[in-house]
Structure 1
Amino acid sequence: MKLSNSIFWSSIISFLFFTSCSGPKKEAATLLIHGGPIYTVDSVQTLVEAVVTKDSIILFAGNLEEAEKYKNEQTQVIDLNGKTMTPGLIEGHGHFMGLGNAELEIDLLSTTSYQEIVDIVAEAVKKAEPGEWIIGGGWHQSKWDSIPADAVNGFQTHDLLSAVTPDNPVYLFHASGHAGFANAKAMEIAGLQVLSKEGIDKFEIEGGEVMRDKTGRPTGIFNERAQQLIYQHIPEDTPEKKAKAFDLAIKACHKNGITSFHDAGIGRGTITDFENAKKANKMNVRIYAMLSGDDKDLLNEWYEKGPFIDPSHRLTIRSVKLFCDGALGSRGAWLLEPYTDRPGHYGHETLPMEMVLETALNGLRKGFQICSHAIGDRANKEILDRYEAAFEELPNLKTNHRFRIEHAQHLHPDDIPRFAQLGVIPAMQAIHLSSDRSWAIDRLGEKRIKEGAYMWQDLLKSGIPIVNGTDVPVEPLNPIASLYASISRKTLKGTPEGGYEPEQKMTREQALRSYTLDAAYGAFEENIKGSITAGKLADFTIYNQDIMTIPEDQFLKTEIAMTIFNGDVVYKKSE
């Protein structure tokens, strides 16, 4: 009996010893990543040795020794071999289907003259059927080597283009998306009398401009809302083209390390396309979609049923996009004072401000975030005024509204602190400074540029986060270029020395947050993504070099080495 008791107690002691030493059994990991610097954007531990995931969720982030306790024979191990990892990057303002369509249409982003555009379109005509529309975009007259002698308000006229396209309607979107260039055939289809002033007046449209020469002839430039005069005649994309554009956009995101995308303004058709892609398990980027404010019927439908917050985090619809002014490049941005290079011209109010107030009130009542496009200082001021009026009218509903202003590119100094005071988030695309600053000074003059343009650091210091991005396809999707602009305030050629208004540079930590945690905050998603934290989604971006320590002049050599979405490797750069 004593021997039996002795064996019993010996077994109990051994069991307690081994269980106390080994601790609770760790959950088995599907993926373990280590071997390079891992920047978490988590304030508790900013740099870790290893990350462990189970399916689509992060289990652990910390030291490698602890991480390996989660490993079993089924765990996939990724050795970074010195490469750097961050949370998956978030494109904070872009146009998803525009990204895909840009791959299928004429790309004019790199053109440096009007003649070059004419030559490119002439080649496209050779491959097109008579009557087939030729669509392209990306041109920007302020980036050309020279402006044509017969330019009107700094823009080319259609004659050269029309001469090489007699049988094909052509429409070429400005890089900003806020103007377009039509040939004679396109204007003929639209019912515009190309050779005389008669018949044109009735086509003037509020919030836009049909640009004309001294004789009253339309030059082919359609600014802001006037674009609809041509755009409404362009045939809708076929289902086949839409599907191809969607697939190309997904691939482009993965190649650029983008795992989430704030789609700045979608209509009924795109919503259907996205829902179908999700059902077909093709939605392999997390879309945070803004309803286009141009469609009141669509908004009323969504107000009735309320926001859709996707439990699978693939397609969420809980915001509204309002287009309230134009762009600096097309002189459509709405200014408090006239354009320096076009006296008497203030830009365009492309949406009545009473509509902004009405939508802000509906957003508060129905639970929708309002995101208003504003580039000029007048537009920013007017929108802040309308937001503030809505908050005052419905004070009990303004808590955690997270209303946004998209671009917030040019601000009156008095309005800079109002963003933080009102809790309004600026979604600013840093790459616009690299592309625009060298000519934007011609539009605004030195004083307005220095006091109110691209005011990143002033806004951050006021206590409000910034959502970064590219506004693709206005700019290429490349986040490396936008991060470089954020920290250098230089063109992509590295000029000027020290950067434009260097006091407004972001630190590298601020820049990374603007593409991760702060961008997630701008979509109410900071609790599920934006940092490498246990319990969040397993979305990661891996780079060939350390973006937090490399010299600035080496930054643009950074490449995306791998993209991990939902715990799966979706892109790997070939060696």
Structure 2
Amino acid sequence: MKKLIILMGAMVLAACGSEQTSAPPAANDTEPKADMVLTNGNVLTVEEDMPKAEAIAIVGDKIAAVGTSAEIAAWIGDDTEVIDLSGQTAIPGFIEGHGHYTSYGDSFYRLELRYDTSWQAIVDKVERAVAGAEPGEWIVGRGWHQDKWTVKEDILVDGIPVHDKLSAVSPNNPVMLIHTSGHAVFANQAAMDAANTDGSTVPPEGGEIVLKADGTPSGMMREAAQDAIRAALADYEALRTPEQAEAELRRAIITAGEESLKYGITSFQDLGTTYAEVDLLKKMADEGTIPVRLWMAFDIPYEELALPGKLEEYRMVGYGNNFLTVRGIGEKVLDGALGTHGGWLLEPYTDMPESYGLNVVPVDDIKKSADLALEYGYQMAIQGIGDRATRELLDIYGAIKEANPDADLRWRIEHPQVIHPDDIPRFAKYDVIPAAQGIFACSDGGWVEDRLGKDRTLERSYLFNTLYEAGLTPTNGTDPPVDEIDPIASFKCSVTRELSDGTIFQGGEVYTRDVALYSYTMGNAIAAFEEDIKGSIKVGKLADIAILSQDITAVPDNALMDTKVMKTILGGKVVYERE
């Protein structure tokens, strides 16, 4: 894509003054009045011709007018709900650009491991869970990351503890602990027994069973090797009745939405879903019970994607009054995560020189899925974290783009965190969207150099502003439940690159404030073909708005995290209000 002109820059603001002066004609006494009016605010529209305003009129679920408070006052009638912003800032509702929606909702009912600073703390947490569980009941946790532990175990294999302590506290309950990236799990002996995994088990292609010195599994299952453990959990969960299974999935859907709305998120791009999940989501869309607007990408094997009629049947855009869109293929991932040494690299890992990472899904399967995407009008949205994975995806995408030069594909590479400089121009050449998450530069920045070395880190890692400067659509998100869903935290990392210890990671790659806001609103809308209905505050667009306590484009860096979401408006209705 041509380089974007990001809105609300200083020159534009200087030219336009402090308020919007060219609103649509105000309603008169004979015209319909607004259902809701937001007034006396600092409205950041993310629109080039009207970057700032004071007030918004909403009719139904759409924006009817944007202008000064005086202009919008004419839209107020006897039945109009008037919200006095008292100087607070209104922005388009945040769009989560990459996450795992039902996994995020489900994570609230699992053990939270993101904040534990030692393996022993995790073992203790599991022991407490075992005390309240029935024998044979699975215990699942998520969020651990070995590089965040301040205390190291005496026995480590590839920097990861062995399962002995975990198995000792949970001999009769299978335990599966998901790495924060989702690209590995740690299992106790009972879980490995349930999955028939031992020292003689041959790991699947694209996976690794980490072994202890005696040749038995350590408990760490990288990438595709985790599938056996997850399958054993699925077998256990299959014992539920259909009613129980649907109730738990509904719970996850509702919880994920309610939590999103607390952060001003009105749309969520999910990577990825299944046919069964979409069946329930469609049912809930008919009921009007989906809490946020969803864009979904399938995360299922090629063989299921290719079932006759399935992709045609399940493709939907704006279903249920724009609450459900299914038009993406995020079939598994091409590679793994840097944190688990799974990202597929062109050269070996600095701290594990025997490894180049893992190719998780065969390249030929990705090629076949790309053919299906082209045929049925889906977006490809495949993870390519390492520079080898990114190059392979650009080869696949590029071949199809060159054969179909006029097609507006907007195919995506998710988590483009390590990119060889030679490949950056290819993103623009093939109109590929780098679906990046600003927060990862800060959550990963403390250990990236360990994986890649100093020179490779500087040259290739987390080059988000370089991608923007190359003319690419900037996007943003937090990949929940991998990281906290908070857009303000990701915004701050995007504009500061400041780590928790105060150091700066890849400081030359910061976004400006305006680019960061664009990335979380219009950029993500463009990445989902939704820029005509969301992503900015404009007449005719959906009235999805977040009200913030302060202007995130203007406050000092050290005050950004003081920003509070005061209200979230979805389709012209206040769906969250801070107490």
Q: Match of 2:445, SS?
A: helix
Query: Where has structure 1 moved over 3 Å in runs of 4 or more?
Result: 20-26, 298-306
Question: 2:466 aligned with 1:458, yes or no?
Answer: yes
Residue 252 of structure 1, CA deviation? 0.2
Question: 2:182 aligned with 1:177, yes or no?
Answer: yes
Q: Indicate conservation of the 8 Å contact 1:259/1:285, yes or no.
A: yes
Q: Give the aligned residue type for 2:192.
A: M
2:412 pairs, out of 404, 414, 418, with 404
1:384 pairs, out of 394, 397, 412, with 394
Q: Match of 2:54, SS?
A: strand
Q: TM-score, normalised by structure 2?
A: 0.92
Q: Distance in 2 between matches of 1:494 and 1:153?
A: 25
Q: Distance in 2 between matches of 1:22 and 1:270?
A: 44
Q: Which residue of 1 aligns with 2:261?
A: 254
1:551 pairs, out of 556, 559, 569, with 556
Q: Give the aligned residue type for 2:361.
A: L
Provide closer, same or farther for how the CA distance between residues 212 and 272 of structure 1 changes in structure 2, counting only shifts above 3 A: same
Q: Which residue of 1 aligns with 2:156?
A: 151
Question: 2:376 aligned with 1:357, yes or no?
Answer: no
Question: 2:344 aligned with 1:339, yes or no?
Answer: no
1:508 pairs, out of 498, 510, 513, with 513
Q: Give CA-to-partner distance per residue, 1:94-123, whole Å, 9 cap, x none.
A: 011111111011000101000000000000
Q: Which residue of 1 aligns with 2:404?
A: 395
Q: Give the aligned residue type for 2:335.
A: D
Q: Give the aligned residue type for 1:266.
A: T
Q: Give the aligned residue type for 2:537.
A: I
Unaligned runs of 5+ in 1: 1-19
Q: Match of 1:228, SS?
A: helix
Q: Match of 1:118, SS?
A: helix
Q: Distance in 2 between matches of 1:243 and 1:437?
A: 36
Q: Give CA-to-partner distance per residue, 1:46-102, whole Å, 9 cap, x none.
A: 100100000100000111111111111000000112211100000000011111111
Q: Indicate conservation of the 8 Å contact 1:306/1:366, yes or no.
A: no
- Pairwise CA RMSD of aligned residues? 1.6
Q: Distance in 1 between matches of 2:293 and 2:42?
A: 25
Q: Which residue of 2 aligns with 1:123?
A: 128
Q: Distance in 1 between matches of 2:388 and 2:550?
A: 42
Q: Which residue of 2 aligns with 1:289?
A: 296
Q: Give the aligned residue type for 1:278.
A: A
Q: Match of 1:241, SS?
A: helix
Larger displacement relative to structure 2 (401-410 or 263-272): 263-272
Structure possessing the higher radius of gyration over alpha carbons: 1
Q: Distance in 2 between matches of 1:296 and 1:526?
A: 32
Q: Which residue of 1 aligns with 2:213?
A: 214
Q: Give the aligned residue type for 2:188.
A: N
2:326 pairs, out of 312, 317, 321, with 317
Question: 2:375 aligned with 1:368, yes or no?
Answer: no
1:414 pairs, out of 393, 417, 422, with 422
Q: Distance in 2 between matches of 1:305 and 1:101?
A: 27
Q: Match of 1:250, SS?
A: helix
Question: 2:34 aligned with 1:29, yes or no?
Answer: yes
Q: Indicate conservation of the 8 Å contact 2:26/2:75, yes or no.
A: no
Larger displacement relative to structure 2 (358-367 or 89-98): 358-367
Q: Indicate conservation of the 8 Å contact 1:357/1:390, yes or no.
A: no
Q: Which residue of 2 aligns with 1:187?
A: 192
Q: Match of 2:134, SS?
A: coil
Q: Distance in 2 between matches of 1:93 and 1:291?
A: 13
Q: Which residue of 1 aligns with 2:545?
A: 540
Q: Give CA-to-partner distance per residue, 1:247-280, whole Å, 9 cap, x none.
A: 2111101101100000011112211221122122
Q: Give the aligned residue type for 2:48.
A: S
Q: Distance in 2 between matches of 1:463 and 1:53?
A: 34
Q: Give the aligned residue type for 2:574.
A: V
Q: Match of 2:339, SS?
A: coil
Q: Indicate conservation of the 8 Å contact 1:151/1:157, yes or no.
A: yes
Q: Give the aligned residue type for 1:361.
A: D
Could you tell me the percent identity over the aligned residues? 39
Question: 2:253 aligned with 1:243, yes or no?
Answer: no
Q: Indicate conservation of the 8 Å contact 2:302/2:365, yes or no.
A: no
Residue 293 of structure 1, CA deviation? 4.0
1:140 pairs, out of 116, 141, 145, with 145
Unaligned runs of 5+ in 2: 1-24
Residue 569 of structure 1, CA deviation? 0.2
Q: Distance in 2 between matches of 1:189 and 1:457?
A: 46
Q: Match of 2:375, SS?
A: helix
Q: Indicate conservation of the 8 Å contact 1:268/1:298, yes or no.
A: no
Q: Which residue of 2 aligns with 1:270?
A: 277
Provide closer, same or farther for how the CA distance between residues 31 and 211 of structure 1 changes in structure 2, counting only shifts above 3 A: same
Residue 148 of structure 1, CA deviation? 1.4
Q: Which residue of 2 aligns with 1:91?
A: 96
Q: Give CA-to-partner distance per residue, 1:364-389, whole Å, 9 cap, x none.
A: 22211111111001000111011111
Q: Indicate conservation of the 8 Å contact 1:484/1:556, yes or no.
A: yes
Counterpart mapping for 1:479-490 below 5 A: 479-490=487-498
Q: Distance in 2 between matches of 1:554 and 1:330?
A: 34
1:46 pairs, out of 45, 51, 71, with 51
